[in-house]
Amino acid sequence: MVGGGERHDHGDERLNLTVSERLGLLSILPAEGNYSTMRILHDLRSELGFTEDELKAAGIREEGGRTVWKQNGAAPADVQVGEAARNLIVSALKAADDGCRLSNLTVPLFERFVVNPE
């Protein structure tokens, strides 16, 4: 099981993700791909996205071209991730590592999904 989540019979997994983890994953996902990849990415982005209430609770906003939030504003959320989506996350993180594009936001995700997958 990758990323320390709870696996369900149909291959999906519930991951408990913080605001910074969700933002980090949203920032690292590819913008292009084939049709099936883009459908999976669309669903994954919907799962990782924030509700209006979460945006308010976490104080998520853009400031000077950067996304900022209150560190303890919103509780972690359970996000449903299928096997194909999980594979896309791992591939995106590996590509960022290979291209020296990991950031302070994505290093913990790399460790969670690539270095120490459960």
Instruction: Provide the pLDDT confidence category of residue 7 given band limits of 50, 70 and 90.
Output: very low
73, 61 in Cβ contact below 8 A? Answer: no
Q: What is the pLDDT of residue 118?
A: 74
Euclidean distance between CA atoms 8 and 91, whole angstroms: 22
Q: Mean of the pLDDT values across residues 27-56?
A: 95
Q: What is the mean pLDDT of the chain?
A: 90
Residue 5, pLDDT score? 56
* Chain segment 75-114, per-residue pLDDT in tens: 899 999 999 999 999 999 999 999 999 999 999 999 999 9
| Residue 33: alpha-carbon gap to chain centroid | 18
Alpha-carbon 54 to chain mean position: 16
Average pLDDT over residues 28-48: 96
Query: How many Å separate Cα 116 from the centre of its chain?
Result: 16
Percent of the chain scoring above 70 in pLDDT = 91
Q: What is the pLDDT of residue 112?
A: 96
**Euclidean distance between CA atoms 85 and 113, whole angstroms:** 12
89's CB contacts (< 8 A; 6+ apart) are: 2, 3, 25, 28, 29, 44, 81, 109, 113
